[in-house]
Amino acid sequence: KFALCGLSMGGIVALEVVRRAPNRVKRLCLMDTNSTCETPERAAKREPQIIAARTGRLEQIMREEIALNYLTETQHKEHIFELLIDMAVSLGSEAFVRQSRALQKRRDQQSFLSKIKCPTLILCGEKDQICLPKQHEFMAELIEGATLAVIKNAGHLPTLEQPDTTNEALRAWLES
């Protein structure tokens, strides 16, 4: 048995792990994630990004996407932004394409949420523009006994934007 925590796409993967092996997961943390399937509009928006990535423009795509949606104004925003760009570029275009395809095809897990029986923390940045806090409130309502933690002054990546506050919430979840 193990504790499982996933951020963003990692949260989508974590939900699938719990769905497939509920007896193996003793604790679950879903951070800045989404339990719904991809909308047709969002899936279609990924296609030009995939083409651009395959034609050598991954860094450009990531700069545009991250600048628009991921981070809030913090004193370390520029450093975090460059860190994310470096991570994306080091993973490469094919990883980006595989992740994009997986997101396009992900299942809707909303009906599964009420079946989760392990202690669960739902955590999000208060200013997340990708996976809205309202979506996290919904997930917390559907999972019996779930705890909701909303991290102030954080967007989609509270682990980088507000690491101390995020770690406090994770520590409390692990020790509860």
The pLDDT of residue 155: 95
Q: In this predicted model, what pLDDT tens digit does every residue of 86-126 receive, in sequence order?
A: 999 999 999 999 999 999 999 999 999 999 999 999 999 99
Q: At what angle do helices 40-54 and 93-105 cross, to 10 degrees?
A: 170
What is the identity of the amino acid at 147?
T
**All structural domains of the chain with their residue ranges:** 2-37+107-175, 40-105
Does residue 71 register a pLDDT over 90? Answer: no
Under CATH, which architecture does the 2-37+107-175 domain have? 3-Layer(aba) Sandwich (3.40)
How do residues 42-69 score in pLDDT, each as one tens digit?
A: 999 999 999 999 999 999 999 998 876 7
Gyration radius from the chain CA atoms: 16
Q: Is the pLDDT at 142 greater than 80, yes or no?
A: yes
d(CA 64, CA 76): 18
pLDDT, residue 60, reads 96
Q: What pTM value is reported for the model? A: 0.93
CB atoms within 10 A of CB 48: 10
